[in-house]
Amino acid sequence: MITDSEFIRGLPKAELHLHIEGSLEPEQMFEFARRNRVSLPFRTVEEVRAAYAFSNLQDFLDIYYQGAAVLQTEQDFHDLAMAYFRRVAADGCRHVELFFDPQTHTDRGLPFSVAVEGLLSGMAEAKASLGITSKLILCFLRHLDEDAAFATLKAAEPWLSRIVGVGLDSSELGHPPSKFAKVYREARARGLNLVAHAGEEGPPEYVWEALDVLGVDRIDHGNRSLEDAGLVERLAKSGMTLTVCPLSNLRLCVVDDLKVHPLKRMLGLGLKATVNSDDPAYFGGYLAENWIQTSAAVGLTRSELVTLAKNSFTGSFLTPAEVAPHLAAIDAFAKGAV
Ligand code: HPA
Ligand code: ZN
């Protein structure tokens, strides 16, 4: 019988919650800083890693935005994306729907084209060289106002056919989804899919707003939904995908210990949960590591692992015809791996 870790690595999987700027490893941060002549407040990789001790989301965001300042050219974004794709190819990942934060880059003077063109070229190379498919999601920073989100959507216009949807990230508390009702309506009118971070630190009301005011297709995180039985019922009945990020939850103190992580409880309640890495360079693990550590901590069965793998594809923005071969590959793998 193969080990759980071998089973997890071998299962075909998709990643639906990944901030590409959060895959910036300290080594690469120094490399980009050197080639772009950007100064860093750290002298060594060890010093950077020592700074990754967070007690909440904002602690992390402060250092994450600082790190992103080393990204200056299309080549940087291309290299960042390819480094990520190489890592997850080794994890058995076949498809990724990645977030990027254009305002983090345009607000420090980069033209809108730099991040998006660099990422799209990295995504094309990942398809050609690794066979991994991917789609790009543009996130609005929720600590900024809705006018800034509208300006970002306008700046993205030339690329909208190559962007699959919009999302909402950054500081959740005090910035409810309803703050972005109009720009989400506009994004939907342009044919984009809609997702939003909700219920990571924010209350269940924010998840209700993401559903009822924004009309999202997926909820990113969603942990605090479990505090509201009516909301759990709504999410379960509608088959709403939750993109859960266990190691992120641990590092940002959303849970005290992986052993009490709600992933298994979510599955038991009939919620369509998926497992993702969020910001792997900052939270101590890429896709497979999230699966392996969480499975060991909460005791996932092989059948639950198969469900999670299937959820990652059926919860994606791939078409049913594109999803079908992945589901067949999961079944074939699970049948052969006893
Ligand atoms: N939550 C909110 N915003 C983010 C995150 C997150 O986990 N990662 C990057 N931006
Ligand atoms: Zn996130």
Closest Cα to residue 77, out of 161, 20, 139? 20
- Distances 14 to 35, 249, 313, 317 between C-alpha atoms, Å: 33, 19, 6, 11
What percentage of the chain carries pLDDT values higher than 90?
Answer: 99
* pLDDT tens digits along 117-143: 999 999 999 999 999 999 999 999 999
The 10s digit of each residue's pLDDT in 236-270 is 999 999 999 999 999 999 999 999 999 999 999 99
Ligand nearest to the CA of residue 143, numbered in listed order: 1
User: Out of 200, 201, 209, 289, which one is annotated catalytic?
Assistant: 200
Rounded to whole angstroms, the Cα distance separating 153 from 145 reads: 13
Q: Where residue 1 falls among pLDDT bands split at 50, 70, 90?
A: confident
Q: Nearest C-alpha to atom 7 of ligand 1 is from which residue?
A: 278
| pLDDT at site 325 | 98
Check whether 319 has a pLDDT greater than 80. yes
Q: What average pLDDT does range 215-243 have in this prediction?
A: 98
Query: Which ligand is nearest to the Cα of residue 171, counting in written order?
Result: 1
The pLDDT tens digits for 13-66 are: 999 999 999 999 999 999 999 999 999 999 999 999 999 999 999 999 999 999
Instruction: Write out the H or E segment, with its range, that includes residue 94.
Output: strand 93-100
**pLDDT at residue 338 is higher than 80:** no
Structure tokens at 297: 């901590």
Residue 245 is given by DSSP the state -
Ligand nearest to C-alpha 170: 1
Alpha-carbon distances, residue 10 vs 2, 13, 140, 303, 315 (angstroms): 10, 9, 34, 14, 20
Sheet arrangement for strand 165-169: 13-19, 93-100, 133-141, 165-169, 193-198, 218-221, 241-244, 272-275
Check pLDDT > 90 for residue 187. Answer: yes
> Best mutation site among 19, 59, 172, 248 for ligand 1, i.e. most ligand atoms within 8 A of its Cβ?
19
Cβ pair 139, 100 in contact under 8 A: yes
Angle at 95 between CA 270 and CA 293, to 5 degrees: 60
pLDDT at 93 over 90: yes
For residue 233, indicate whether it is catalytic: no
Distance between Cα 323 and ligand 1 center (Å): 27
Residue pair 277/19 in contact by the 8 Å Cβ criterion: no
Mean pLDDT, the chain, rounded, equals: 98
What CATH number is given to the structural domain containing 282? 3.20.20.140
Ligand 1: centre distance to CA 168 (Å):
9
Pocket test for ligand 1, best of 104, 169, 200 (most atoms within 8 A of CB): 169
- Determine the average pLDDT of the residues in 223-234: 98
State which ligand 1 atom lies nearest to the alpha carbon of 252: 7
With a 6 A CB cut-off, is 13 part of the ligand 1 pocket? no
- Cβ partners under 8 Å of residue 200, min gap 6: 57, 172, 220, 221, 222, 223, 224, 249, 252, 254
User: 């298994």: which residue's tokens?
Assistant: 264
Report the phi/psi class of residue 191: left, alpha or beta, with left for phi > 0 and alpha for psi in -120 to 50.
Answer: left
Question: How would residue 97 be classed by pLDDT, with cut points 50, 70 and 90?
Answer: very high
List Cβ neighbours of 323 (8 Å cut-off, separation of 6 or more).
313, 314, 316
Is the predicted pLDDT of residue 327 greater than 90, yes or no?
yes
Q: What was the pLDDT predicted at 69?
A: 96
pLDDT in tens, 140-177: 999 999 999 999 999 999 999 999 999 999 999 999 99
**Residues whose CB is under 5 A from ligand 2 (ion)?**
278
- Smallest CA separation from ligand 1 atom 4, residue: 170
Q: Averaged over 214-243, what is the pLDDT? A: 98
> Cα(317)–Cα(59) distance, rounded to whole angstroms?
31
Work out which ligand 1 atom sits closest to the CA atom of 169.
3
Q: For the chain, how many structural domains are there in total? A: 1
- Please report which residue ranges of the chain form alpha helices under DSSP H: 4-10, 26-36, 45-50, 57-68, 74-89, 102-106, 112-130, 146-155, 181-189, 204-209, 229-238, 246-251, 263-268, 280-283, 287-298, 302-314, 320-336
Residue 247 CA to ligand 1 center (angstroms) comes to: 13
- Residue 248: give the domain boundaries: 4-336
User: 211: which DSSP letter?
Assistant: I
Is residue 105 very low, low, confident or very high in pLDDT (cuts 50, 70, 90)?
A: very high
